[in-house]
Structure 1
Amino acid sequence: MLTKVLARVLQSLPKTRTGDYIFSYLLFLRAHRRKPGSGMLLNDYLFRLKTSKEMLSPLRQFTSDKALVKHFVAATVGDKYNIESIAVLESKAEIDAFDFPASCCIKPTHGSGRVILRRDGEPIDKAEIKAWFDLNYYLYKREVNYRYAEPKVIIEPILFGGTKGEDYKFFCFNGKVKLLQVDIGRHHVHTRKYYDGAMNEQDFSMKRPRELGPYELPKNMPEMKAVAEKLSSYFGFVRIDLYSDGDAIYVGEITHCPENACARFIPLEAEQTASDLIFN
């Protein structure tokens, strides 16, 4: 009942920066069971970033779009780090008319967390894809960098044949990699490992369980760090999300407010450890 009441309250808030602040404040309270502070704990910092004018900067808005960000990547580190765009569809009519490849990755350019992986010509739900055009991701979590994003759907190949390659998410501050999150088994049993900027494994996780088994970082990690740092140098804080199979490197997206400032650490006291790594 409380969740339903909170949802109604959140949706009734005005679509203004004041309304965005209250919305984000209530989400933070629910996630962390505390008020956001003024210190340099990661989630507190992200809350301040999310509710600041910085999130409306043209570059943050531009690089939040999964199609437009490829222009930034090409200009900054080179087009070889971009995933091929098979098509960018701009209307529901184009969805109906498009002949989707037998194997492909389908996702909206103007949001996060929604993706369809089509394999071997399996049926796809075009109604679901067309519904993405009605999605305003800003309204979902009040991440204002998405507010004015034009709805589109991007079609890409499935990387590495869908058999290899983890997600490598580089938390960068002032142009330097400070923390690495590795997402393992994302579409199966989703676990995570964390490393500091020198690639020393850490004994905590965030939101997902920590992967306890051995894990070998890819041999091209120095190049991955260099790509992340060059892309991040245009921002104070940002997370650069890369894919790699150990040879090729591709930019997945640029994330400006990881987990919407609402991810809890495992254990909770590890937030101080991670924050010290990022901001010191």
Structure 2
Amino acid sequence: MNLVALKARFVNNRYSKARRFRKKFIEHNKYIPNFENPKTYNEKINYRKRYPLNPLFSRCACKIEAKEYVAELISKDVVIENLFVGMSITPEKLNEIVREHGNCVLKANHNSGRIYMLSDRDELSRFSEVCYEVSKQLQVDFGKLADEAWYSDISPRLLVEKKLTPSDEDGSLRDYKFHVFKQNDGSMKVLLHIDFGRGVNHSRSYFDEDLNWLPFAVEFPSLITKIQKPKNYDFMLQIAKKLADPFSYVRVDLYNIDGEIFFGEMTFAPGSGISRFSTYIYDYWMGGLWQRDPRY
């Protein structure tokens, strides 16, 4: 096959993929998108996916380099310590780490794929299984798979970190997801979303910066309309806003364990631009909060 034919095949494949995604978007979100002149939140996510220009996307999407970045910009005290970083790991080494440090988490650094919770009660066969599974993740170019090009610039590695111990009464680790939009005047507009009951009766609620409930849902029903202000909430806001400063929009995930704050991750295309809102008007409303160029 000559070069011209190869190029034509590549273009056709990309066109077919884009057409399939557009069809999926319309079926899932119930409106016809305009990805070249974006107005809604989802449209702007897709515009960013098509034309990313901020060089920090790759660094801050990497689960290893993001920790280094946050330690430099905020403090190493909010970073969950890595117990191992490498291109591969043996079941025996993983077993050794878990026996020494207790419950751990194994994950790849270059995607938003599955993570593996490990306990000192696990057998060696379990460690063999997860080592094999995570090694398969390292073979996949997640940037191409998700059409989020910044992931393709991350060198695939794996990491093991200490598992955080939840303080919630139901035994779950509450993840505070701050959607931060940088305004044209330099100020920050912040929305917070929290997932409740993951796995069983999963719900998701959105709140404004002052923790007032917002009357819409995204992907899951919004059932919880009031939450208590967590300890050191103002510090969480400070962290989210400072990390968001170089971007027109980013979602910053933080954990709060009885007032002790830990960085989770930064996400630049939540839901990969296909999150289903309960009504179109709130997709459009969130798009209006995103005032600056989505490419950055």
TM bucket, shorter chain: 0.7 to 0.9
Other-structure match for 2:67? 70
Kindly indicate whether residue 44 of structure 2 is the aligned counterpart of residue 45 of structure 1: yes
Question: Out of 226, 231, 239, which is 2:243 matched to?
Answer: 231
Moved more, 249-258 or 199-208: 199-208
Query: What is the CA-CA distance between 1:144 and the residue it aligns to?
Result: 0.7
Moved more, 254-263 or 138-147: 138-147
SS in 2 for 1:178: strand
Kindly indicate whether residue 261 of structure 2 is the aligned counterpart of residue 262 of structure 1: no
Call closer, same or farther: CA 1:215–1:227 in 2, change over 3 Å.
same
Query: What is the CA-CA distance between 1:95 and the residue it aligns to?
Result: 3.1
Moved more, 107-116 or 131-140: 131-140
Query: What is the CA-CA distance between 1:191 and the residue it aligns to?
Result: 1.4
Between the two proteins, the alignment pairs up a number of residues equal to 265
Which of the two has higher C-alpha Rg?
A: 2
Kindly indicate whether residue 93 of structure 2 is the aligned counterpart of residue 98 of structure 1: yes
Query: What is the CA-CA distance between 1:134 and the residue it aligns to?
Result: 1.4
1:168–1:241 CA contact under 8 A, matched in 2? yes
Question: Out of 139, 157, 167, which is 1:134 matched to?
Answer: 139
Other-structure match for 2:176? 168
Name structure 1 gaps, 5 residues minimum.
Answer: 1-11
CA RMSD of aligned residues (A): 2.7
Question: Out of 147, 150, 159, which is 1:154 matched to?
Answer: 159
Q: Distance in 1 between matches of 2:132 and 2:200?
A: 25
Q: Distance in 1 between matches of 2:247 and 2:285?
A: 23
Name structure 2 gaps, 5 residues minimum.
Answer: 1-8
Question: Percent of pairs identical after alignment?
Answer: 25
2:205–2:225 CA contact under 8 A, matched in 1? no
TM-score (norm 2): 0.79
Call closer, same or farther: CA 1:161–1:225 in 2, change over 3 Å.
closer
SS in 2 for 1:151: coil
TM-score (norm 1): 0.84
Q: Distance in 1 between matches of 2:12 and 2:255?
A: 35
Q: Distance in 2 between matches of 1:179 and 1:185?
A: 20
Q: Distance in 1 between matches of 2:12 and 2:116?
A: 30
Q: Which amino acid aligns with 2:264?
A: G
Query: What is the CA-CA distance between 1:43 and the residue it aligns to?
Result: 0.8
Call closer, same or farther: CA 1:252–1:80 in 2, change over 3 Å.
same
Other-structure match for 2:215? 203
